[in-house]
A = this chain, B = another copy of it.
Amino acid sequence: MGRTSDAREKILAAARSLIELRGYSALGVAEICKAAGVPKGSFYYFFESKEALALAVIDEHWAAQERAWRQVLAEEVEPLHRLRRLFEVTQAAQLAGQQSCGTVSGCLFGNLTLELSNQTESIRARLQEIFEAQAGLIEAVIGEARARGDVTVADAREAARSVVAQLEGQVLFAKLYNDTQRLGAMWTNCLALLGARTFAEAPIGL
């Protein structure tokens, strides 16, 4: 049992790396098994299909990211400060990825959205759930900030979606230019989108 469980983890880790480097469509099961160092028979013992593997990679990545997000958003500081920490954690994660594999790999969920959402309904549905969950976590902080009068935004859910969209767009450009500095604009833009009190003193580009 120790060995088989190990093989599942190896397949997941190899698939995650290969998907980040080259996307999902171009991958074959044989290649994933070779990178994982496990026999091809093991693959179908753990995963019904390549699609089932992709869902497992997505779930594992979201479980880790959700833990990290919840931890940051539970810190005992002002709501906007927590939100800022979320952007810092995002930028740090992209920088760590770049340092380990040479290129900014972007957001796994964003990458798979643009590559797969029109082809695989199960993946589309899972990615929708994850982005809704992200928006929900951010909405809660925006609600707190609004209650304190820190932001003027009217619809906290809609604003949270726009913040996530801006984040995805900036991560896309960080990937395109292989430059995490691009992510520096995220926080100022977030303040602008929320109609933050501090925004009047710090518009974009200052």
Contacts and interface: CB of A to CB of B under 8 A. Distances in A.
Interface of A: 21-23, 25-26, 103-106, 110-111, 113-119, 124, 127-128, 131, 152-159, 161-162, 164-170, 172-173, 175-178, 185, 189, 192-195, 199, 203-206
29 contacts: A21-B119, A23-B23, A23-B116, A23-B119, A111-B115, A113-B114, A114-B114, A114-B172, A117-B176, A127-B176, A128-B177, A131-B176, A153-B203, A153-B205, A154-B205, A154-B206, A158-B185, A161-B173, A162-B185, A162-B189, A162-B204, A164-B173, A165-B166, A165-B169, A165-B170, A166-B166, A172-B172, A192-B192, A193-B204
Given A115-B114, A168-B169, A193-B204, A161 B176 contact: no
Chain A interface SS verdict (over half):
helix
Contacts of A156: 205
Contacts of A169: 164-170, 172
Contacts of A185: 158, 161-162, 165
Contact of A124 (B118, B162, B176): B176
Contacts of A127: 176
Contacts of A21: 118-119
